[in-house]
Amino acid sequence: MRIYEEADYRAMCRRAANILSACVILEPDCVLGLATGSTPLGIYDQLAQWCARGDLSFAAVHSVNLDEYRGLAPQHPQSYRYFMQSHFFDRIDIDPANTELPDGLADDPAAECIRYDTVLRRAGAPALQLLGLGHNGHIGFNEPADAFALGTHLVDLTASTISANTRFFASEGEVPRQAYTMGIAGILSARRVLVAVSGADKADAVARSFAGPVTPQVPASILRLHPDVTLVGDTAALAELKKTGVPFERV
């Protein structure tokens, strides 16, 4: 695992955007696995700026997103489809037809999970999967559990995740209780995994994920079995991990 420590959120985003853009430059028609949450916002902003300047093109890229709230329409301002459109897709030259997310309004959850796994299989292995990290070590919406869920599945969100995401809604009652998420097999199928973390509130989850035991109780810990993981974090987010003696690559 490669670990890059950056001074602050801005530098972390620039580093992550550099790694992501390198993938697209080397393989312009690649598949990118994309994530939502506040962490990737600065990464998407940086990529969109490079695209606007003509330094980067997503015209041939396909994207597959990790997750979507169940029950939210694509036009709902808190849906992940809306997030991706407004923060990234509408700002770059990607073909909207080449962007995939689970359908939050699907009538039949089991059928939707099968449909999304078919989408992922047809798209092929992502060249890179971008991930944020939940406070409880979740990736996508793979919450702590007794076993790793491999395929796309419908999740009952934990109290910690609902409360963390309340900041985006008018009240906690409005936060959806369920979400579709790509499973662990989908995430691990990417040729490269890029985990972006920022802030002291993530420090504990980072240490538990990358220095503790590999366990479904800390879903991100499974990433340690992936052959090509890059962790990009700011100093605050890496503080607890550093105490464990994990070696750092500084650039």
Residues that bind ligand GLP (CB under 6 A): 35-39, 66-67, 132-134, 140-141, 161, 165
Q: Does residue 165 have an active-site annotation?
A: no
- Residue 162, sorted as left (phi over 0), alpha (psi -120 to 50) or beta, turns out to be alpha
Q: Which of 5, 138, 142, 240 is flagged as catalytic?
A: 138
Contact 94, 44 (CB under 8 A): no
Q: Which of 5, 6, 67, 112 is flagged as catalytic?
A: 67
- 3 state SS of 99: strand
Contact 126, 193 (CB under 8 A): no
Contact 191, 128 (CB under 8 A): yes
Q: Does residue 62 have an active-site annotation?
A: no
Contact 145, 110 (CB under 8 A): no
Contact 80, 179 (CB under 8 A): no
Contact 105, 170 (CB under 8 A): no
Contact 195, 223 (CB under 8 A): yes
Q: Does residue 76 have an active-site annotation?
A: no
Q: Which of 143, 153, 234, 240 is flagged as catalytic?
A: 143
For residue 188, give every residue at least 6 positions away whose Cβ sits within 8 Å of its Cβ, in sequence order, or none.
Answer: 222, 223, 225, 226
The residue (of 59 and 177) whose beta carbon lies closer to ligand GLP is 177
3-state SS of the chain: helix, strand, coil percent to 5? 40, 20, 40
The residue (of 62 and 102) whose beta carbon lies closer to ligand GLP is 102
C-beta of 55: minimal distance to ligand GLP in Å? 26
C-beta of 179: minimal distance to ligand GLP in Å? 7
C-beta of 196: minimal distance to ligand GLP in Å? 8
The residue (of 94 and 134) whose beta carbon lies closer to ligand GLP is 134
Q: Does residue 98 have an active-site annotation?
A: no
The residue (of 23 and 131) whose beta carbon lies closer to ligand GLP is 131
The residue (of 60 and 216) whose beta carbon lies closer to ligand GLP is 216
Contact 12, 106 (CB under 8 A): no
Q: Which of 5, 6, 62, 136 is flagged as catalytic?
A: 136
C-beta of 165: minimal distance to ligand GLP in Å? 6
C-beta of 115: minimal distance to ligand GLP in Å? 20
What residues act catalytically? Answer: 67, 136, 138, 143
